[in-house]
A = this chain, B = another copy of it.
Amino acid sequence: MLSRKTKYAINALVYLARYEDEQPISVSRIAEDRHIPLKFLEAILTELKNARILKSKKGKYGGYSLNGRPEEIDLAQVVRLFDGAIALLPCVTHDYYEPCEECVDEETCGIRQVALEIRNATVARLKGATLASILERERKMRE
């Protein structure tokens, strides 16, 4: 399951994409509109900024903006940032690779194969889930 942090992050990003032309948007506006604890969201947006997914503008009338087009920002990036590896096992991740401590022989590990297939399928879908595509889906469903 995704952590609250990740879900809040996704919600905030979708919000920013939706009101793209009103950027920069303040943390407090997003927090109120999406019912996210203010200070918690502040920390989340800071992380997104450090990861260069968002950019910020300080001072009055400042706030956060997407650092890139909604087509370029996808859920794989966000999930990895907050929840770490997407895979079920450390030995099938690309970014966070580590052997399984208890794995006697990685080459012939039957669980590993399954985990690898699941990872590949999941990553592909998360990468396909860009902010743009999420907004598009929502638009279609509202009809």
Contact = CB atoms under 8 A, between A and B. Distances in A.
Given A88-B2, A90-B1, A137-B113, A36 B125 contact: no
Contacts of A121: 118, 121-122, 125
A16 to B, nearest CB: 14
B142 A102 contact: no
A1 B110 contact: no
Task: Report copies per complex.
Answer: 2
A34 B122 contact: no
Interface string A76-88: 0000000011011
A51 interface: no
A14 B103 CA distance: 12
B35 A102 contact: yes
Given A1-B90, A122-B118, A122-B121, A108 B138 contact: yes
Interface of A: 1-2, 7-8, 10-11, 14, 34-36, 75, 84-85, 87-90, 100-102, 107-111, 113-114, 117-118, 121-122, 125-126, 128-129, 133-138, 141-142
Given A10-B111, A107-B141, 14 more contacts: A1-B90, A2-B89, A7-B100, A8-B102, A11-B102, A35-B102, A108-B142, A110-B135, A110-B137, A110-B138, A114-B128, A114-B134, A118-B121, A118-B125
